[in-house]
Amino acid sequence: METKAIIETEELTKIYNGQVAVDHLSFQVKEGEIFGFLGPNGAGKTTTLLMLLGLTEPTSGRARVAGIDPTREPVKVKRVVGYLQEHMGFYRDLNARQMLRFIAELNAIPADQAEERIERALKTVGLLEEAEKKIQAYSRGMRQRLGIAEILVKEPKIAFLDEPTIGLDPDATNRMLELIQQLCQEKHMTILLSSHLLYQVQRICHRIGIMINGRMVAQGPMEQLAAEKFGVDGEQHTLEEIYMKYFQEA
Ligand SMILES: Nc1ncnc2c1ncn2[C@@H]1O[C@H](COP(=O)(O)OP(=O)(O)OP(=O)(O)O)[C@@H](O)[C@H]1O
Ligand SMILES: [Mg+2]
């Protein structure tokens, strides 16, 4: 049975001051999958995520996220999506626990349930010991972990993770990848993950989209993309090799 699309765009386009950032982009993310969103710097990945969140308006085309049009109902879409940003803006004067309480309140999570989730999230990301420390004193990796803790507290249906392992040490990276898989398997969360770390993407993503110059040049399971570029020998190739082939031929 085909799983239905939970994220869908049709000819989605964003032009900034005459420059095309996202160019008639059509793609689908299926419910419950981890979708690897790849592409070189400036390809339009973050811009696409911003349009899917209703944080920037498309120039043309349309998008649906969990059945919601993010342009028309930006508040509603933010309720169902958790967003780990490329550059995180925290309320730096708060400590981690206060920040997570604030997130819980914003999402109308009942207080007792919130406290439980916050403790669990802090523990999962390894911030329990630093939970009373002001965020402004956090290292980059600690901020990244806090961003993930926010998603664990919110437990959204869909998560957009823009470079989730940036700044994490190797052990934290491994735990992050396992956690993403867990969220998918246990909470049935749909995950749209943008990353340049292709080995990591290869490890955890079910399907992959490659965006170049604002266009999706390929989308599908890795084996399919491999077969498209390398034929029957496809399975011997790494995602890095597959990606480079698409990139060079674009
Ligand atoms: N606010 C903005 N105003 C003008 N141009 C922008 C703005 N945001 C992005 N762009 C341009 O849109 C294009 C796509 O940028 P975007 O940030 O979406 O790329 P990306 O795929 O996320 O890249 P990276 O891998 O470096 O994060 C780039 O040419 C960028 O300069
Ligand atoms: Mg980006």
Q: Give 169-184 pLDDT, tens digit per residue.
A: 899 899 899 999 999 9
- Residue 95 in any domain: the answer is no
Instruction: Please check whether residue 103 lies inside any domain of the structure.
Output: no
Q: Is residue 198 part of a domain?
A: yes
| Close Cβ partners of 167 (under 8 Å, ≥ 6 residues apart) | 140, 141, 143, 144
In a domain, 130, yes or no: no
Q: What is the best residue among 19, 47, 165, 217 to mutate for testing ligand 1's pocket, by most ligand atoms within 8 Å of CB?
A: 47
49: containing domain = 5-88+158-249
**C-alpha 212 to ligand 1 mean position (Å):** 12
Report the atom number in ligand 1 closest to the C-alpha of 22.
14
The answer to the question of residue 146 being in a domain is no
How confident is residue 1, by pLDDT bands cut at 50, 70 and 90? low
Shortest-distance ligand to the CA of residue 21: 1
Decide whether any atom of ligand 1 lies within 6 Å of the 122 Cβ: no
Query: Which residue's C-alpha comes closest to atom 27 of ligand 1?
Result: 41
- Closest residue by Cα to residue 68 from 83, 57, 79: 79
Whichever domain contains 220, its CATH number is 3.40.50.300
Give tens-digit pLDDT for 96-131.
999 999 999 999 999 999 999 999 999 999 999 999
Ligand 1 lined by 43 (C-beta under 6 Å): yes
Whether residue 36 lies inside any domain: the answer is yes
In a domain? residue 132: no
On the 0-12 / 13-18 / 19+ scale of CB atoms within 10 A, 225 is: buried
84 pLDDT above the threshold of 60: yes
Residue nearest to atom 30 of ligand 1 (CA): 42
In the reported structure, the alpha carbon of residue 104 is separated from the centroid of ligand 2 by a whole-number distance in angstroms of 27
In a domain, 202, yes or no: yes
pLDDT at 5: 95
Between strands 34-38 and 190-194, the pairing is parallel
Kindly give the distance from the C-alpha atom of residue 48 to the centroid of ligand 1, in angstroms, as a whole number.
9
- Average confidence score pLDDT of the chain: 93
| Domains held by the chain: number | 1
Lowest mean pLDDT among 53-57, 68-72, 221-225, 230-234: 230-234
Q: Which residues pair with 218 in a beta bridge?
A: 210
